[in-house]
Structure 1
Amino acid sequence: MDYSQVDIANRQTYNKTSSHALFVVTGGHGLIDSSDNSHTRLEKGMIMFVPAGRTIVIEGSSELQYYRLELMVAEVKEDTASRLSITGETVQQELPLFMSDPDRLPLIELNYSPMSSCLKSLEQICRGQTAYDWLDQWEIQLRFQDWFRVLLRQNDPEIESPDERARLQSSIRYIRDHYDQPITVDDLAAEVRLTRSSYTRQFKGITGKLPLDYVNAVRLEHSKLLLQLTDDRLHDIAQNVGFNNEYYFGRRFKQYTGVSPGLYRRHHRQEVRVFAPYLEDFVLALGIKPILQTSHSSWGRQQYLGLEDVPEFDVTQLDVGFNEMNVPEFIMLNNGYQRWNLERFEQVAPTFYMEHQGEDWRSILKSIADVLGKGNRVQDVIGAYEDKAVEAKGQLARHARAQTVAFLRISASEIILYGDQYGYVAPVLYQDLGLTPHFRVQQWASQSRRISIGLEQLCQLEADHLFITFDNMDSAYPGEERKLLERDEWRRLPAVKSGHVYEVDFMTWMNYGVISHGKKIDDILRFIG
């Protein structure tokens, strides 16, 4: 074992050896470049395992200090006991099984807690290498074995560390209680006796966020309450939740919520004139009537929403604008906005972009409710849907036990089969209601929202029940999309022959909204419940 220091102008090269190595960083920071062209940052408190056969270069970007321990790969023979020898600069010991295949081992960061105990042991081992008395040598051997055992146990994924997890949970509680005070990752990591990188990794494993992102999220959630409940200036709110700069607070708030703090407060104080193409379902479910409703030259409007008195906005007319009677104060766009060139309206009104996937409709509803000041309605809306789904699932279990289902979208140019996990219908049919997809649905489209199938595949779709809807977008004349129904391949399907084919409304079923999902349930119960 040796103790090294690398200055900013120096590089230390360790060529390929038959030994594994451990580098324990005690000060400064730098980089370790491996022979596989990987680069790893080194900082105080880190322990890096370098497998045998690797050439590495260590560079110190500031004064870097570390211990280096060499772990010799020993061959164990029947008449040879495991032994540890310390000679010159190396510590040698037979390696455990998980280190016995160096060719496939990467550089691995290890943890040792508390680090003060780690460094104390290494200092004693380092000093003891010059001992000549065999009893002193034996004591150093025991010290190393004890240090190495602790290192292995703390980094064994099979061994849980409830104490470490408890300390991280304590750190999370500290953030929640002291969000309004200055907080740094270095301080948080030091408090739980972890390196910054280890703390960050483990923190993200528990919360799903990086530490500073989590701190900012806690601060921003509190700022939302202050914006709703007080008339405090933005500068004061920023200070009260831990942001030193009002402009930085405003930027982070908009990144987090999608709207500025001022607009967020305004939405919570008064009704807003909102334009939300293909998000009207969510807006209406929260009790807000949009000032316009989306229509399409081929598909028409979403009639199931009952917005007969709301003017239409045809998204297929890419140059259409607003007239003076229906200029919105706020615009909400889903991820299909580019298809309709809707980003051109950013200059008309503040615009909120919805990033959630359609299947995650609950998160969409919560985000929309948050920016429109309707957060108090979310749980009622979701709860009503879930109660309805549970009741329908029980009813369907009695009437459609062991029967299979599939859903088709039929146009003049293709037959589209929807999968069993994603898309407009799968979460309702197969997850919320527990219906059984035909095995061809699982085989062909399990990981897809939808796939196009030919007549040969259609003939293999022998589901007990078929739900179908017609898309007339590609039709050259009225009704062309229905020509499939005249083919023998269609007529031979078991569901067709048994009368178990159910046509449903296109716009109702081609939508992710909570209202449309509720109406899907109504349709399913009407047909097979």
Structure 2
Amino acid sequence: MSGYLYRLSGRLPPGGAGYLHSLLLLSGKTESFVRPVRRPKMLQTVMIIPPGADLSAYIGGWERIMVLSFSMLQESTGGQHVPVCLEQPIEFSPVPGCSLMDIGMEISEKLDGDAPQRMKANILFQELLLALFEGSSGPNESAQERAIAQTVEYMHRNYHRSVSREQLAEVAGMSADYYSRLFKKKLGQTPVEFLTGIRLKHAKQALLSTKESFRAIAQSVGFADEFYFSRKFRTATGVSPSHYVRQVKAAQRIVSLQHHLTGHLLALGIEPYAALVNSYYPLRLKEARDIGHFRPDLDKLAAVEPDVIFTCEVYDEETQQKSRMFEHIAQTVTIPFFEDWRTQLRKVAVATGREGEAEDWLQHYELKAQQTRAALSPFTEGKSVLIVGVGNGRICLFGHRNVGAVLYGDLGLQAPDGLGDIGLYREIDYSEIYSYDPDILLLTSFRNDGSPLTKLAIREKIRQIESDPRWMAMKAVRSSKVYSLFEEQHLYTLYSAYSHNLLLDKLLELWRTELSK
């Protein structure tokens, strides 16, 4: 019979007392599925099937299937035992090195014997269940958590689309009613409430960082119309969307959790009430309160009682864990990290009610960049520039973001041949520098905290680079066109409106001698 495909289906017997369960043992090489789990199974499949469950399995002639029916009781008050009825199949991971089918066959054989044999069958069955539970990390729990997590991820990816409870249940592989109960038990909300929360979170960001209409925002995050959106928004926040926007724009205690956002705020004439403060980025803050050096301190952040927090979606692992608490402290405005710095500045301006100031600042900057480009052209025209970052034992090439956004972008300077399309930076071994032959070499900080130890390490690294025989062969070195921006750590390399404006001034100062020749 091998090679033939059979379909085994039907309803499992519910049992006279309504609590007869079944242990399914399926062994072979075929794929199978058991509703409502609906996931491919290979080799050994082991499940506890509740009373009345629908079972469908596809097996080939070389597979074996066994169903062991049993009662399941739970101790109650007064030493009584009551039936237990599961609502969902329990799936087990196969036990390594254990032939479950052989154990099941032995149990079946002993069940047909006399009383002592039937007792042994029960002992074997108990041992089988023990092996299954010990070999699985919470047999049903882990599978349920994975299923719920999959639907949460699905909501985050598809919140802007029409998403029904039935669709989510399908993703989880559960019935809609059971999925809803399990979801609320795990997360404290119904799936619809959770999805609405995701949509409102995205709507808040759009309200604070764009000039789109309420209708456009409502539709973009998955609400049917602006009226339903407005009702849900008021229910969740206690205020209308328009009142919410006015509140945030009138905020006085503005906190920045990223240095480049602090730079954008400074460009708009706003010194944040509190910010990260360290020697990496000497942003010349006068009165801003310190809420951490490299990562926000949650206690300090809460203590300053911010009205609004500016942050981005890119964090290190430690800050990522804290980020869930930011919105519990104050309204959080998330500015996309990988967007162009001009777009970032405009979004910060919308959230702070400084749109006019942002456009004025950008207009002034564009004019200044044109004037700087014209002023530098006698020195830079037709010449390539390589930007090298040097740190404590580390070295990198900067690309078209940060300091490169000004040199290669706004000033239109030429990158050396072979540099390629580097986004932010690319770490290298120092010897790679010699494979480029730029006309101008600009040395700047790379992860420079300004400490004496780091400054000493940078000097040692530069000494190593300059002592290499290949150094003197470089065009920029032979023509004395090597310049440095080390004195203020990362003030000029920060990807922000504030730093870019300062860099234009610094480059004019740096190359003034060349321009006077």
TM-score under structure 1 normalisation?
0.48
Q: TM-score, normalised by structure 2?
A: 0.49
